[in-house]
Copies of this chain bind each other. A is one copy, B any other.
Amino acid sequence: MSETKKTNIILFSGDYDKAMAAYIIANGAAAYDHEVTIFHTFWGLNALRKEENIQVKKSFVEKMFGKMMPRGANKMGISKMNFAGFGPKMIKDVMKKHNAMPLPDLIEMAQEQEINLVACTMTMDLLGLQKEELLDEIEYAGVAAYLADAEEGNVNLFI
C-alpha cells in the first residue's frame, strides 16, 4: 500500500510524562510521514492552555476549575510524582542534562510538523475552558470527528 499511514492519539491524561510520551510518538510518526492527530480531551486539554491568565467570563465553578487545573504544558505534574517521591523539577533537570526536549518544545515541534492538535469541545464545555485560553492554531471537534479519523487509523492509542 502506498497510502499515507495514520496515527490518532487520544490524550486524556493531564500528566507531564504521559503527555511527553504522546508527543514523542506523534512527532516520530509525523517524521515517518504519518498523518497524525492528537485529540485532547478531559485533563489532556491542559497541555493546550496558554500560560498567561486570559480574562474570560466564567461561572464560579468554571473559575474554580480554571484555577485548579495546570495552566499549560509546563505546569503539569508527573503521574508517578507522589508514588516515588520525586517531582516534576527532578525529571526536568534530568531531561535538560540529556538534551531531551521539554513538553512545550515537543508541542511546538508538533505544530511545525503539521500534526493536527484537536481540542474536544464537549470536555471544554464541561471544564469551562474557552478558545481564548488555548493555544492558537488548534482545531475544535467532537467524538464524531475522532471516530472518523480513528476508523481509518493504523495506530490508535488512548493515553
- List residues of A whose CB falls within 8 A of some B CB: 5, 7, 10, 12, 14, 17-18, 21, 24-25, 28-29, 32, 34, 41-43, 61, 64-65, 68-69, 77, 79-80, 83-86, 90-91, 93-95, 97-98, 100, 122, 125-128, 143-144, 146-148, 150-159
Q: Within the assembled complex, what's the spacing in Å between the Cα atoms of A40 and B41?
A: 21
Contact of A150 among B21, B61, B85, B155 (CB under 8 A): B155
CB pair A151 B5 closer than 8 Å = yes
- In contact, A94 and B155 (Cβ under 8 angstroms): no
Residues A86 and B65 in contact, CB atoms below 8 Å apart: yes
**Are A28 and B147 in contact, CB atoms less than 8 angstroms apart?**
yes
